[in-house]
Amino acid sequence: MSGETMLEVRNVSAGYGSFRALFDVSLEVKAGEAVAVIGPNGAGKTTLLRVISKLIPATSGEIRMTGTLLGPMAPDKVVELGIAHVPENRRLFPRLTVEENLRMGAYVPSARAKFRERLEFVYELFPRMRERRGQLAGTLSGGEQQMCAIGRALMSGPKLLLMDEPSAGLAPVIVQQVFRLVERIRAEGYTVLIVEQNVQQVLRVADRAYLLEVGGIRRSGSAAELLASDEIRQSYLGI
């Protein structure tokens, strides 16, 4: 089903109280694609992912997942539709073990029955997590924590992964490893929408990207086009 629209965000606005963080944002992600959303601090990137996951409501506009309108529904319904969110700063349960954290990713009813099978899948994908399965998540290295957070998201059996700044706060060598993880996820057939401040790296793993500035989409194009653009190079790549 590669090439079909998986996620469609149309004219979405959202905010916090009277503050508007997103204005009329439209974007789409096709099955099999990796799409990046880049932009400066405070542009609304995290807010965009929260709106898609229904962690905060849109004040206007529509979001569809494989054609199904995400109306007023609880976040667990969004998970059931095949969207998994890997939040900023990973948000693991530090006092739970790796395996207990992974179990938390399989909390929706449809995922519970497949827990064993998916756990095995995550452990095959990330052997390091099998080795560390009894370790408290709070004691994992930054890169391992990101692996655990991605693994937890995969436990719900998603089609689409929303990744919020997976490289944030990690040492450069670990950042490289995290982007390799993103490539692995793609190779497994997952569709990815990834928010990143590390523009250079993310444009190397993404097919397409949107530039979000002060709550609005300013530009979009293929990753290659954006990497070559003078505007992006000057503002975001420092070259």
Q: Which residues bind ligand ATP (CB under 6 A)?
A: 16, 19, 21, 39, 41-47, 197
**Nearer residue to ligand ATP within complex by CB, 99 or 196:** 196
* Nearer to ligand ATP (CB atom), residue 168 or residue 224: 168
Question: Is the Cβ of residue 6 or residue 43 nearer to ligand ATP in the bound state?
Answer: 43
Q: Are 77 and 31 in contact (CB under 8 A)?
A: no
Which of 216, 222, 167 has its CA nearest to residue 195? Answer: 167
- Specify the residue, 37 or 106, whose C-beta has the smaller distance to ligand ATP: 37
| Closest distance to ligand ATP from the beta carbon of 118 (Å) | 29
Min dist. Cβ of residue 114 to ligand ATP (A): 32
CB of 150 to ligand ATP, least distance (A): 19
Phi/psi of residue 134, each to 5°? -95, 0
- Which CB, 96 or 168, lies closer to ligand ATP? 168
The answer to whether 51 and 57 are in contact (CB under 8 A) is yes
